Amino acid sequence: MPNRVHEDPRDIDGAFRALACAVCEKAVSDYRQALKTGDHFKIETMEKFFLSEWFYQLSNGAVEGEAVIEEVRRQWAKQKMLRRS
């Protein structure tokens, strides 16, 4: 039975791409949570991940880690300002 992500369960490349995407999405989610809670160790760890060769490989070079950090921080700052108003 095909899963929700891929039509063909034998599509190994597609499965690996989906897994890599899920890892990157989870990292962004964890980074947002770390910013929200002020967990400096986790923030530093996640930023190192986004700037790593491993993240570059997982994103297939399509996403710059620095851009992820900047965008998530921008969104977090915006949410923080909205909460204060």
Say whether pLDDT at 62 is over 60: yes
HEC string of the chain equals CCCCCCCCCCCHHHHHHHHHHHHHHHHHHHHHHHHHHCCHHHHHHHHHHHCCHHHHHHCCCCCCHHHHHHHHHHHHHHHHHHHHC
Question: How far is 79 from 71, CA to CA, in rounded Å?
Answer: 12
- The verdict on residue 53 lying in a domain is yes
- The verdict on residue 7 lying in a domain is no
- The verdict on residue 6 lying in a domain is no
Say whether pLDDT at 41 is over 80: yes
Q: Give me the domain span that covers residue 75.
A: 12-84
Say whether pLDDT at 22 is over 80: yes
What's this model's pTM, rounded to 2 decimal places?
0.81
Q: Angle between the 12-37 and 40-50 helix axes, to the nearest 10 degrees?
A: 150
- The verdict on residue 36 lying in a domain is yes
